[in-house]
């Protein structure tokens, strides 16, 4: 009996060590990817707007954002994307976990936290697979209002209506949380 108890206690210790692994390096790499994604998108948006205003930039954004996300996914074997509580593209709709994190970001903002610094991560274990899920809030800046604000140029609006008939991503103000970057990184738990 005592042996069984000892075995159980040891077993539990091993499990809890496995659960308390240090994933700070993985968190840092998710953070760096979100930062790079944000910078690349902003550059593409600015360049697109300079070339031909919001109407032109819609095509840039429409094609390039999913493309950039895909490049990061392929490069790292991760799942990288953007999501929101009010999506423009239904393909970006949040899953249950993402929705609860987005809701917690809204609560944190109501409590006075700056969206520009908001992030959340968790190690999720499901069906024997572990992954680090990371989200970083995306605040609405002035640049975003041309396509997500309250007053949108009529040609840009028409273009958006054609591309996204169920668009919910309108009516934002500067400082609102427009959405979040979301990254799932498979973890190698060996030795953690
Ligand atoms: C030129 C128009 C344009 C501008 C400016 C723009 N967006 Fe978007 N945004 C879009 C389009 C088009 C999509 C849909 C992309 C897709 O199909 O995945 C989108 C989608 C998004 C999404 C993904 C979630 C969703 O709603 O589908 C986020 C997050 C987002 N934009 C944030 C921003 C932020 C933050 C800014 C300012 C820095 C910004 N956007 C500026 C056109 C724009």
169 lines ligand 1 (CB under 6 A): yes
Domain of residue 115: give its range: 23-186
Q: Are 48 and 147 a contacting pair, CB within 8 Å?
A: no
From the CA of 51, how far away is ligand 1's center (Å)?
A: 18
Residue 32 lies in a domain: yes
pLDDT over 80 (residue 136): yes
Helices (H) and strands (E) in the chain, counts: 5, 4
Residue 2 lies in a domain: no
Domains of the chain: total: 1
Render pLDDT for 47-59 as a digit per residue (tens, 0 to 9). 888 877 878 788 7
Q: What would the mean pLDDT of 95-121 be, rounded to a whole number? A: 97
Provide the CATH number for the domain around residue 33.
3.30.450
From the CA of 38, how far away is ligand 1's center (Å)?
A: 11
Residue 10 lies in a domain: no
Beta bridge partner(s), residue 124:
131
State the pTM of this model: 0.87
> Most distant CA pair in the chain: distance in Å?
78
Residue 7 lies in a domain: no
Residue 192 pLDDT grade (very low, low, confident, very high; cuts 50, 70, 90): low
Whole-angstrom CA distances from 67 to 2, 38, 44, 155 are 59, 13, 12, 25
148 lines ligand 1 (CB under 6 A): yes
């Amino acid at each position: 009996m005592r042996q069984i108890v000892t075995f159980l206690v040891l077993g539990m210790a091993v499990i809890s060590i496995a659960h308390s692994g240090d994933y700070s390096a993985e968190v840092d790499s998710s953070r760096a990817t979100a930062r790079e994604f944000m910078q690349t998108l902003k550059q593409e948006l600015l360049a697109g707007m300079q070339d031909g205003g919001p109407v032109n930039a819609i095509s840039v954004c429409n094609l390039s954002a999913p493309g950039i996300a895909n490049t990061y996914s392929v490069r790292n074997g991760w799942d990288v994307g953007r999501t929101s509580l009010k999506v423009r593209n239904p393909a970006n709709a949040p899953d249950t976990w993402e929705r609860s994190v987005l809701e917690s970001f809204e609560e944190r903002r109501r409590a006075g936290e700056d969206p520009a610094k908001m992030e959340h991560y968790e190690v999720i274990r499901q069906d024997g697979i572990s992954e680090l899920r990371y989200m970083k809030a995306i605040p609405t800046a002035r640049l975003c209002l041309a396509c997500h604000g309250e007053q949108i140029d009529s040609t840009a609006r028409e273009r958006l209506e054609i591309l996204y008939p169920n668009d919910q991503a309108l009516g934002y103000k500067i400082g609102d949380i427009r959405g979040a970057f979301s990254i799932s990184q498979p973890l190698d738990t060996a030795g953690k």
